[in-house]
Structure 1
Amino acid sequence: MTLHQESNRYTITSGDHLVTVRNRKRMDMTSVKEIERFDQEEFYVRTSQGHLLIRGEELRIVHLDVDKGLLTLEGNVKALQYDDEENGLTKGFLHKLFG
């Protein structure tokens, strides 16, 4: 990932995936392709680096820009887990259902 500084602003090279968590209360993400499912305790997001499972309490979307792939969440973040695209939670979930 390459960050470019332009007078107190940082720009992120297009396509790079960045996750920033502030005090476990606010999370900013780039390169978000799709939010596959979510509720107040769990978000399952497809990113350019694979599926990302976010667990917590009182999670909610503060900002979503689908065109730019930006997502901001607020709530109490407890866990983050990445899974590869091919071996993600979706395959495990379907495998559990249909064996």
Structure 2
Amino acid sequence: MTFQQENATYTIPTGDHLLTVRNRKRMDVTSVKSIERFDQEEFLVLTSQGHLQIRGEDLRIVHLDVDKGLLTLEGSVKTLQYDEEDSGISKGILHKLFG
């Protein structure tokens, strides 16, 4: 897989996960398996390295290629957090709802 930034081209070995944030306004993510939920303030993305939670404002999908596992977002990125793939994200949500 080849990934191109403004002045450089990178070759990414298949399955490697790469996250690039430009000026907290644009974000490229590779090795995306699925987008589990999203809205303008939060994305929950399953990557080869586990769940990635992205929070911010006015977040939107600019490009998505599910076959290649590529995702590009734009908006104001505030926080990024990884959790292991089997960490029980669902349990956390249920715990918040039902205590």
TM-score by length of 1: 0.86
**Inter-partner Cα distance in structure 1 for 2:11 and 2:91:** 35
Cα distance, 1:97 vs structure 2: 4.6
Map 1:25-36 to 2 at 5 A. Answer: 25-36=25-36
Find the counterpart in structure 1 of residue 20 from structure 2: 20
Find the counterpart in structure 1 of residue 71 from structure 2: 71
Q: Secondary structure at the match of 1:94?
A: helix
**Inter-partner Cα distance in structure 1 for 2:90 and 2:52:** 11
RMSD of the TM alignment (CA)?
1.7
The one-letter code sitting in structure 2 at the alignment partner of 1:80 is L
Find the counterpart in structure 1 of residue 62 from structure 2: 62
**Inter-partner Cα distance in structure 2 for 1:88 and 1:52:** 13
Unaligned stretches of 5+ residues in structure 1? none
Cα distance, 1:9 vs structure 2: 2.4
- Per-residue CA deviation, residues 26-71 of structure 1 (Å, 9 max, x unaligned), is 0000000000000000000000000000000000000000000000
**Inter-partner Cα distance in structure 2 for 1:47 and 1:41:** 19
The one-letter code sitting in structure 2 at the alignment partner of 1:15 is G
The one-letter code sitting in structure 1 at the alignment partner of 2:33 is K
**Inter-partner Cα distance in structure 1 for 2:82 and 2:22:** 19
**Inter-partner Cα distance in structure 2 for 1:88 and 1:45:** 14
Find the counterpart in structure 2 of residue 91 from structure 1: 91
Find the counterpart in structure 2 of residue 49 from structure 1: 49
